[in-house]
Chains A and B, each alone.
Chain A
Amino acid sequence: MDLKHNRVSQLLFLGVAGGFTSVVWAATPPSTAITPGPEKSEVEVQMLYLNKDSVRPNRYLGPVKEGEELSVNIEIVQKNEKKDNRFTHLQVQGAGTNHPYLRARVGEQGNYSAQVEYRERPKYQYLDLKAPFAGNSLLLPQLQAGEQLTGNTDSFDIMHKRAITRLSGQKVFDPQWRMNLVVNREDKTGNDLQGFGSWFNRTGFQMPASINQRTDQVGVSLEYFTPKMQGRIGYNLSQFRQLDNNYFFAQDPNSANINAPDTKMLSLAPENNFYQFNGSLAYSISNVTKISTELDIARAEQDDEIVRDITFDDVLTALSGDSLNAKLDTTRFGVRATHRLSQGIMLRANYRYDDRNSKRHQYNNLQSEFGTLRDTRSHDYTRHTADLDANLSLFGNSNLLVGAKFANIDRTKELSDRNDTQEATAHMRLRSRWGSKLSTGIKGSYGQRTGSTYEDNITSNNEALRKYHLASVDRSQAVLDATWSALDSLALGIEISWKEDDYTKSELGLTNDQRLATTITADYFPSTRLSGTFFATLEDGTRKQAGITEQLKHDMTTYTFGLSGKGKVTADGRWNLGSDIIVMTSDIDIKASSGANYSTLKSNLKELRLYGDWLAKENLTLKLAYVVQDYKEADWALGYGITPNANNTSQYWLMGAPVYDETIQMVVGSLAYRF
């Protein structure tokens, strides 16, 4: 279950790297803090063997092909803290694999730190899907007389890889001022499973669309700190680029003349730029009154060249110029004040302003030309949110929070009768500590959103489209939780959460969404040599949907169970063993009032991990792990391949995404040597 990031996860999940973050400016900023723990120099050589091709267990890291994989990990930590608190930290993980990670960090605590990181992060979805395209293109093969397309297919792996290079650092100018800098480049390459089709003609095809894109990000911030006041200003930049064209061509396997096929011109995500200025300030007016505020001003702009597909000449004519030249400005401002009336009573008030404002004259061109037929549906709004809470300390070390929240959202481009939604929510939470052994919590909220209602006499798909975020809804939520130290060595936990979104003021669309989940946990430490953890979650969800002539009920039941234990075989901890078990089953039942026969969607995951390590010498550790995973997924939606007309899929060429029913085994061994 890997919750403990124990020895097996170090063995099997080579990507684990404490300091790495994927997001850029929003992530935990870099720090000048010296690397904790003792100095060390360690090299580890690891061998992994996978017994069959599978993307399930190693989807995010690999390997996914049968066979062995050799990798090397290195970690060096050096400190000079007695003299001038300098440090260096070098970390290499997964060298030799397709998911290597390198991190080199140097610094002087309290003065500066600088870090360079490089990581490759794959994500595998499917192996060896079939499509009637030739080689690494989306061109159909030339057929000889008597040949069929279905007999001329190629194999494609659906996966992508992110290659990320990052420089980051922090400079402390004096105890009050410091600056953070992050520069990040990410190249993403691979294939995505895309489709193109016409439902009206019942024709179409899936294809492995190429991914070749780059995102550059820069974030710089300046922070100020005193015990009374803290502030931060920052500037962030993000640029998204396609490294090839922003379009591609694909030949249609449904073409009447397959040796002179129709060619479709398809688009990729347009390039965009994003600029953001932000500032934060927190100030203690007194020991009991504090105020904090935040301002974000940002612009996203997109002036990528419009895809010149002459099939849509009418739209191209209406769009003057070569690019959309669209700008989306956002302004967000938040302020929070807290005041402690007495030792036992604290008040909190929040206000938040959130505005999105599109500037795109091309939209007006389209609307004047086509009206709502091709309304580009830009999504602008102004949202005001305010909430007021009181936090009361009660007898018996209990803590009661009660409050209310109000929101008004004005959407400027919506149809006239549903511009606005208003939300009002009352909430409470009671947390109690009953001595040192037991703590409990009760949380509840009830809210109403008043927006639009939808009646079943609609006739036009475009005009009266049901929209989640505009529909009137009653929203209820309750959570009960408790943790109990039943023994000095045993901690038990339970959490029961329930929520309901009730849309029954509308007669169409999603009318009700309920979810009840119960989780129990146990952590057991009978001795310093033995520990175990356990969790189980039972989740029940029901979604009800209403159509004009049909009703739908969507039931989902998921059970997840995890058990792990580990222990020291020898009292000195030189020999350790452990195991993890995970079991997950999920049933999804879809029942339509028309009686359409949807078989139950069943997913079953069973996994066992055994692992151990042995400190053979003071500077030599041997590790060994074994994993077996059984995964089954009964899904009426999957398993359809390149044979059109099968199973009523009409002339749609699917690529054969598999129905999983497989058992894989993996063995990992490593040898770590410390210098």
Chain B
Amino acid sequence: MQPKLWSKKLSHILLASLATLLFFSSQANAADAKQIAEEIEQELRLVQPLLSDRHEADLRAHIGLMYESPHAVESDPRTPAGFAKDGKVTMMCFACHGTNFEHFFKLGEDVTSNTVNSTCMGCHAGGDRMHWSGGPHELGNMACIDCHRMHNKNERLLRTTTQLELCTSCHLERRSDFNRPNHHPVKEGQLVCTECHNPHGTLTPTLLRGSDVNETCYQCHAEKRGPFMWEHEPVREACINCHNPHGSVNPAMLNSRPAQLCQSCHLTDNAHPGDVMGNSPNEVMQVGKGCVNCHSQVHGSNHPGGSFFRQ
């Protein structure tokens, strides 16, 4: 019944092959620091007359970071620092900061959210940003630079190192949710917020990636999709009828303890399932996995005898 653990063998094979690659790659990793410094000096000379009061060292670092980001790839003509096919230099810093350096993206001081977003959307309106207009973050007066730093080092140029840190800087309660005993493995780095949500805007509720709650969950939990011979309606309606996907003190991220959760709907004065509680907390419908001790197929069953989700 134990799963086959191939990982160690596979890892050793990977390790051996990658070590070879590593050796050769290290030969090509000697960055020409002098050349980079000269390029930065050239950039400084370009902007210096307009920025005589700015701290030169900061600006050097700033430009240096820019040249390590996807926004300053000279051979990609779409980027601000890219060269067009005819060899002419493109807009460089002016593309975002304005032709006279009107703004340095200090929100509320030299730029508004709308101006920031218009600047970014000039190139990035497609793909995931398609439904930005009218989305909750746009209507919340948020700017792209609330989450992104154009000169940062991480993938997606986030302002922070992780998505969890970024999202919880506003959604404060999520800081605690993912530290509950039962949670999706976000703080462990196995999942990120944007796997379920598209913060740039969707036409679905709560910015879900999938077309509804369940379709989002089925991306990883395809075995719950069915259709089943015997369906459990609250499951079909929405997984969040019973689960809190961010984290819970209850097992399986349930909204409540198992027996009590089930008895939010299932109760009669018949012997089973009984009134709101059994006669004793030690009954089989309370201990272990509660009702699921017997009704294990609570997400739906394809067994001819599964009408009560027992098999």
Contacts and interface: CB of A to CB of B under 8 A. Distances in A.
A230 interface: yes
Given A272-B227, A548-B268, A38 B68 contact: yes
A437 B307 CA distance: 59
Interface string B259-285: 010011111111111011111111111
Contacts of A377: 230-233
Interface stretch (A460-468, A571-579, A662-670): A460-468
A584 B286 contact: no
B224 to A, nearest CB: 7
A109 B269 contact: no
Contact of A99 (B7, B270, B278, B286): B7
Contacts of B299: 269
Contacts of A110: 73, 76-79
Contact of A85 (B73, B128, B218, B286): B73
Contacts of B90: none
Interface string A352-378: 101000101010000000000010111
Contact of B283 (A121, A200, A648): A648
Interface string A436-467: 10000000000000000000001111000111
Nearest to B121: A227
A206 interface: yes
Contact of A391 (B121, B139, B269, B277): B139
B144 interface: no
Given A204-B294, A292-B131, A521-B175, A269 B224 contact: yes
A136 B1 contact: yes
Nearest to A456: B269
A550 B277 contact: yes
Contacts of A100: 7, 10-11, 14
B45 interface: no
B40 interface: no
B248 to A, nearest CB: 9
Contacts of B275: 547-550, 594
A617 interface: no
Contacts of A466: 264-267
A345 interface: no
Interface string A142-162: 000000000000001101110
B226 A300 contact: yes
Interface in A14-47: 15-19, 21-29, 33-41, 43
Interface in B70-111: 70, 73-79, 108-109
B184 to A, nearest CB: 9
Contacts of A473: none
Contacts of B310: 196-198
A271 B142 CA distance: 44
A78 interface: yes
A274 B296 CA distance: 24
A250 to B, nearest CB: 10
A120 B7 contact: yes
Contacts of A436: 108-109
B8 interface: yes
A9 interface: yes
B195 A22 contact: yes
A199 B276 contact: no
Given A85-B75, A509-B265, A675-B26, A36 B165 contact: no
Contacts of A163: 6
B68 to A, nearest CB: 5
A202 interface: yes
Interface string B134-155: 1000011100000000001111
Nearest to A520: B172
B304 interface: yes
Best-surrounded residue of B1, B28, B78, B157 (most CB of chain A within 10 A): B1
Contacts of A198: 294, 310
A611 to B, nearest CB: 15
B115 interface: no
A469 B219 contact: no
A271 to B, nearest CB: 9
Nearest to B224: A269
A617 B284 CA distance: 62
Contacts of A461: 266, 268, 270, 273
B260 A552 contact: yes
B243 interface: no
A177 B204 CA distance: 25
A223 interface: yes
Q: Which of the listed residues B19, B22, B194, B276 has the most CB atoms from chain A within 10 Å of its own CB?
A: B276
Nearest to B113: A399
Interface stretch (A88-96, A255-263, A524-532): A88-96
Contacts of A265: 303, 311
A637 B304 contact: no
Nearest to B276: A547
A376 B25 contact: no
Interface in A247-303: 247, 264-267, 269-270, 272, 274, 276, 278, 280, 282, 290, 292-294, 296, 298, 300-302
A83 B268 CA distance: 75
Given A41-B22, A648-B283, A638 B288 contact: yes
A304 to B, nearest CB: 6
A547 B263 CA distance: 9
B162 interface: yes
Interface in B165-196: 165, 168, 172-173, 175-176, 179-181, 185, 187-192, 194-196
B161 A4 contact: yes
Nearest to A97: B7
Interface in B236-276: 236-238, 241, 249, 256-258, 260, 263-273, 275-276
B127 interface: yes
Contact of B75 (A19, A21, A83, A190): A83
Contact of A161 (B3, B188, B290, B294): B3
B154 A36 contact: yes
A152 B271 CA distance: 35
Contact of A306 (B161, B172, B283, B304): B304
Contact of B11 (A3, A96, A675): A96
A16 B189 CA distance: 4
A5 B203 contact: no
Contacts of B15: 72, 74, 92, 95-96
B122 interface: yes
A586 B177 CA distance: 12
B52 interface: no
B206 interface: no
Contacts of A83: 75
Nearest to B128: A28
B227 A290 contact: no
Contacts of B1: 136-137, 156, 191, 208, 210
A223 B126 contact: yes
B70 to A, nearest CB: 4
Contacts of A535: 172, 175-176
Interface in B208-230: 209-212, 215-216, 218-220, 222-230
Nearest to A99: B7
Contacts of B176: 519, 535, 537, 539, 558, 560, 562, 584
A505 interface: no
Contacts of A232: 126-127, 130
B29 A40 contact: yes
Nearest to B294: A197
B271 to A, nearest CB: 8
Interface string A532-562: 0001010100010111111110101010101
Contacts of B288: 195, 206, 637-638, 640, 652, 654, 657
16 contacts: A1-B175, A6-B161, A18-B154, A92-B14, A98-B5, A110-B79, A198-B310, A200-B272, A206-B293, A292-B133, A328-B227, A338-B134, A391-B139, A584-B180, A648-B280, A649-B287
Shortest Cβ-Cβ A-B pairs, 8 listed: A225-B126, A16-B189, A675-B26, A334-B203, A189-B3, A26-B209, A267-B303, A547-B276
